[in-house]
Amino acid sequence: MSGTAMQKSESQLSEQTQAVNQHTFTPKVDIWETQDSYNLDVEMPGVDKNGLDVKLEDGVLSILGRVAPDNTVACEKVHSEYETGNYERQFHISEVIDEEKIQASIKNGVLNLELPKRESAKPKRIEVKVG
Amino acid sequence: MYWLDKRLINQLSGLNQLFGELDRSFGSAPRERSSTAAFPKLNAWKNDNSILLTAEVPGVDPQDIELEVQPDKLTISGERHGRAKVEGDSYQRSERSTGKFRRELTLPFRVDSDKVSASCKNGILSISLALAAEEKPKRISVTVRND
Residue of B nearest to A106 (CA): B122
Say whether B127 sits in a helix, a strand or coil.
Answer: strand
Cα(B17)–Cα(B21) distance, rounded to whole angstroms?
A: 6
CB contact under 8 A, B3 and A79: yes
Q: Kindly list the residues from chain B whose CB atom is less than 8 angstroms away from the CB atom of residue A72.
A: 45, 52, 54
Cα(A38)–Cα(A102) distance, rounded to whole angstroms?
A: 10
> Which residues share a beta bridge with A76?
B46
Cα(A97)–Cα(A56) distance, rounded to whole angstroms?
A: 9
CA distance B1 to chain A (A): 10
The domain segmentation of chain B, as residue ranges, is 2-28+36-81+98-135
Domains of chain A: residue spans and CATH: 2-120 (2.60.40.790)
Q: What is the DSSP letter of A2?
A: H
Q: Kindly list the residues from chain A whose CB atom is less than 8 angstroms away from the CB atom of residue B62.
A: 108
**Fold of the CATH domain B2-28+36-81+98-135:** Immunoglobulin-like (2.60.40)
Say whether A36 sits in a helix, a strand or coil.
Answer: coil
Strand order through the sheet with A86-92: A24-25, A86-92, A60-65, A52-57
* B122 close to A (CB below 8 A): yes
Cα(B44)–Cα(A50) distance, rounded to whole angstroms?
A: 26
Query: Could you read off the pLDDT tens digit of each residue along chain A, which spans 131 residues?
Result: 444 433 433 333 443 344 444 689 999 999 999 989 999 999 999 999 999 999 998 888 999 999 977 666 667 888 889 988 999 999 988 778 898 899 999 999 999 999 999 887 677 777 788 86
Say whether B145 sits in a helix, a strand or coil.
Answer: coil
